């Protein structure tokens, strides 16, 4: 009954504001519609046995409300700029899904509070989501680097950035495996301990962030060689770095420290909100706000052009053809 009432109210709202919706840009309509319907359905669904929500549940609800439209906007950006991993928007989809799934698992504990798998899964996803956020920055920096290489060379290369991405990816995988190992130990001993794999994975993520910061500084020194429309890529990464650093500090204290306030399962919710959740939301907001203003790179135009004086194999073949096949 509650869902029907919300649907009727939503339909009436659509009729009264048909003009404003028509004038809304198509790329936002799907995201807005899905988000509103999701909120209506969620509010209409009664909580099992009217269980009161705790602070973690409230944070999870906020994450779902925020990252559902973020997911659809990330899909739109991927369609616009390409789904290739080098485009970076693919990792935005992965990050959004990790936050939505993790928050959903946390909310699922309301009806099944004794289910350890749900709690462990939510905690693991909360901890490993940092790697995709770093990989987004590396991909965006790679696009700016491609603009630089059209006119000059750079110490930072696409191949080196891919190695840093690989470092972050390995850290992500180890974090997932380590979280699973910690969950297995917790199920048998009742005590949450950080596994060695989780520590190694977090260490690789920290190393990837340091290399990202150094690469950003190197690319920023060649800002004058970047095309006017692409300079905002360096701005995105530069603005996000401080927020990612705070988020990384929270993850490091969670894994390496002994402060119970930073425990993955029972830590201080306010600290998690301030140092992790809000930092991620701000970083993603910066990425998408500037990302929608980026021009689409034509398919015929590669991400980078080789320095002057060097010819790609296809260029050499064309030159040979023009010369009649003789050198």
- What is the distance between the alpha carbons of residues 11 and 13, in angstroms, rounded to a whole number? 5
**What is the enclosing helix (H) or strand (E) of 177?**
helix 158-189
SS3 assignment for 183-232: HHHHHHHCCCCCCHHHHHHHHHHHHHHHHHHHHHHHHHCCHHHCCHHHHH
Cβ partners under 8 Å of residue 50, min gap 6: none
pLDDT bin (cut points 50, 70, 90) of residue 217 is: very high
Is-contact 208 248, C-beta < 8 A?
no
Is-contact 64 282, C-beta < 8 A?
no
Output the six-digit token pair for 58.
């409230």
Please give the average per-residue pLDDT across 43-53, as a whole number.
53
Q: Is 20 helix (H, G, I), strand (E, B) or coil?
A: helix
Is-contact 251 199, C-beta < 8 A?
no
In this predicted structure, the answer to whether residue 30 has a pLDDT above a threshold of 60 is: no
In this predicted structure, the answer to whether residue 3 has a pLDDT above a threshold of 50 is: no
Looking from the CA of 318 toward its CB, the CA atoms found within 13 Å total: 5
| Beta strand segments in 37-77, E | none
- pLDDT, tens digit (0-9, with 9 covering 90-100), for 145-162: 888 888 888 888 888 899
pTM equals 0.74
φ and ψ at residue 227, rounded to 5 degrees: -60, 150
Task: Please indicate whether residue 124 or residue 61 has the higher confidence score (pLDDT).
Answer: 61
Average pLDDT, the chain: 77
Is-contact 262 271, C-beta < 8 A?
yes
The confidence score (pLDDT) of residue 277 equals: 93
- What is the distance between the alpha carbons of residues 247 and 130, in angstroms, rounded to a whole number? 8
The confidence score (pLDDT) of residue 127 equals: 80
- pLDDT, tens digit (0-9, with 9 covering 90-100), for 170-185: 999 998 898 888 888 8
- 22-26, 64-68, 153-157, 193-197: segment of lowest average pLDDT: 22-26
Query: What share of the chain in percent tops pLDDT 70?
Result: 73
The confidence score (pLDDT) of residue 103 equals: 92
Q: How far are the Cα atoms of 64, 167, 195 from residue 67, in angstroms, in the given order?
A: 5, 26, 29
Mark residue 279 as left, alpha or beta (left: phi above 0; alpha: psi -120 to 50; beta: remaining): alpha
- What is the distance between the alpha carbons of residues 72 and 37, in angstroms, rounded to a whole number? 14
Q: Is 293 helix (H, G, I), strand (E, B) or coil?
A: coil
């Amino acid at each position: 009954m509650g869902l029907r009432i919300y649907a009727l109210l939503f339909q009436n709202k659509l009729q009264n504001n048909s003009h404003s919706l028509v004038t809304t840009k198509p790329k936002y309509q799907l995201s807005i519609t899905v988000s509103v319907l999701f909120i209506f359905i969620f509010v209409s669904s009664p909580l099992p046995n009217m269980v009161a929500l705790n602070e973690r549940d409230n944070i999870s609800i906020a994450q779902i409300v925020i990252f559902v439209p973020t997911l659809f906007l990330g899909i739109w950006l991927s369609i616009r700029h390409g789904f290739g991993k080098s485009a970076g928007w693919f990792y935005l989809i992965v990050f959004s899904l990790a936050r939505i799934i993790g928050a959903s698992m946390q909310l699922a504990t309301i009806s099944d509070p004794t289910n350890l798998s749900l709690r462990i899964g939510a905690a693991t996803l909360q901890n490993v989501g940092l790697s995709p956020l770093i990989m987004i920055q590396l991909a965006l920096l790679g696009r700016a680097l491609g603009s630089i290489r059209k006119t000059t060379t750079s110490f930072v290369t696409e191949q080196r950035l891919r190695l840093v991405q690989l470092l972050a990816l390995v850290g992500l995988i180890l974090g997932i495996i380590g979280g699973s190992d910690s969950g297995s130990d917790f199920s048998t001993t009742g005590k949450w301990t950080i596994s060695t794999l989780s520590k190694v994975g977090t260490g690789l993520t920290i190393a990837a962030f340091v290399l990202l910061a150094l690469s950003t500084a190197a690319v920023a020194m060649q800002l004058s060689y970047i095309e006017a429309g692409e300079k905002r890529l360096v701005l995105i990464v530069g603005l996000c770095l401080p927020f990612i650093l705070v988020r990384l500090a929270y993850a490091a204290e969670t894994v390496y420290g002994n402060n119970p306030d930073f425990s993955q399962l029972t830590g201080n919710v306010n600290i998690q909100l301030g140092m992790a959740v809000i930092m991620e939301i701000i970083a993603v907001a910066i990425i998408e706000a500037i990302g929608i203003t980026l021009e689409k790179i034509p398919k015929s135009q590669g991400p980078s052009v080789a320095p002057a004086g060097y010819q790609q194999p296809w260029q050499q073949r064309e030159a040979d053809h023009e010369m009649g096949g003789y050198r």
